[in-house]
Amino acid sequence: MKGLWFFRRSPREQVAGLRLVLPPVIFVVVVLYQLLFVRGVHELGLPYHFGAEILFYGLLGPAVTWGVLTWIERQLLAKERAEQQAEEERRRRERAVREERARIAREIHEGVAQNLYFLGLQLDLCRKLASKEPERVAEELGGLQVLLQESLQDLRRLIWALRPLELEELGPIEAVRRLARDLQAHVELEVTVEVRGEERRFPPDVEGALYRIAQEALHNVAKHAQARRARVAFEVRPERVAVEVEDDGRGFDVERALTSPRGLGLRHLKERVEALGGSLSLESAPGAGTRLRAVLPLRGRDRPEAARGGEGR
């Protein structure tokens, strides 16, 4: 037990322990050797005595030196592995940040920015028609109000996306629960979150992917599906974790969505899941609702390539 206790300590504590224990141990070994062994060998004659002394000290010094150097080597290897893992984790986080920035920039460009540009054009048209065609101006302003509301919803969704602290502190499952509550507060959509298996934390890259898949799917449901209810189900197993998002909305043609410009979000989700060795599947049809399921492995970092799938709306 003491040996196990020693190896569970930090390197600084291990060095302090060796400094306290090693000198007395060597002293006791030498004293016992002199008192119990050398006395008997000395009676055999001087040559035997010298030979025993040379053999003992010739072995003791190298043995202690080898043991200490071996321990130092292991500590250096452990430190090197820890530094490599920390560097890999730093790179994963930087890559996740870059991907998130690119995703948000893409959504701003494709959604809010285009809507605001169109609003500017329509307002300019209304200004020109104000004195000539007031009825048409009223009609145009009604359309602009709808477009403005959609832009505000997009901005709220992007603001929700900029909340990484919830994911860091709570984990993906609880963060999705909060996302579901926020979503229900702003749109008429009933969202339930289920967990099958033990609710726990996962590697950072897996947690980020789980949250982003659920977030993107729920936002697509709220924006496009015209659904009344949605369900998010997490399935946790020792070797993998899965997330499934299902709604009772109007559905869509999967093949057509995969090839359309709106499928860009799908392709990015697919690439993210494949990078982790997972699989992403999508089932939908007009009038039949939509079911998305993503599976991510938890054991091993050499994850295989995944199957095609996703959620394009």
HEC-encoded secondary structure of 126-186: HHHHCCCCHHHHHHHHHHHHHHHHHHHHHHHHHHHHCCHHHHHHHCHHHHHHHHHHHHHHH
At 313, the pLDDT band (50, 70, 90 cuts) reads: very low
**Enclosing H/E stretch for 283:** strand 279-284
Confidence category of residue 161, pLDDT binned at 50, 70, 90 = low
What are 18's two structure tokens? Answer: 């060796």
Tokens of 160: 């929700």
Which pLDDT does position 49 carry in this prediction?
Answer: 64
Statement: residue 92 has pLDDT above 50: yes
**pLDDT of 211 over the 80 cut:** yes
Average pLDDT rounded to a whole number, residues 183-202: 89
**In this structure, what are the phi and psi dihedrals at residue 281, rounded to the nearest 5 degrees?**
-125, 150
Q: Is 282 exposed, middle or buried (0-12, 13-18, 19+ CB in 10 A)?
A: buried
Is the pLDDT score of 303 beyond 60?
no
Delimit the CATH 3.30.565.10 region(s) of the chain: 171-313
pLDDT at residue 245, rounded to an integer: 96
Is the predicted pLDDT of residue 312 greater than 60, yes or no?
Answer: no
Structure-model confidence comparison of residues 24 and 245, the more confident one: 245
Highest mean pLDDT among 121-125, 185-189, 232-236, 248-252: 232-236
d(CA 181, CA 183): 5
Confidence (pLDDT) at 149: 75
The CATH architecture assigned to 171-313 reads 2-Layer Sandwich (3.30)
Query: Hey, CA dihedral for 176, 272, 294, 242, is it positive or negative?
Result: negative
pTM (two decimals): 0.52
- How confident is the model over 286-297, as pLDDT tens digits? 888 999 999 999
3-state secondary structure 221-255: HHHHHCCCEEEEEEEECCCEEEEEEEECCCCCCHH
Between 92-101, 205-214, 235-244, 280-289, the lowest mean confidence (pLDDT) is in: 92-101
Mutual orientation of helices 11-32 and 46-107 as an angle, nearest 10°? 170
Task: Output the pLDDT for position 310.
Answer: 39
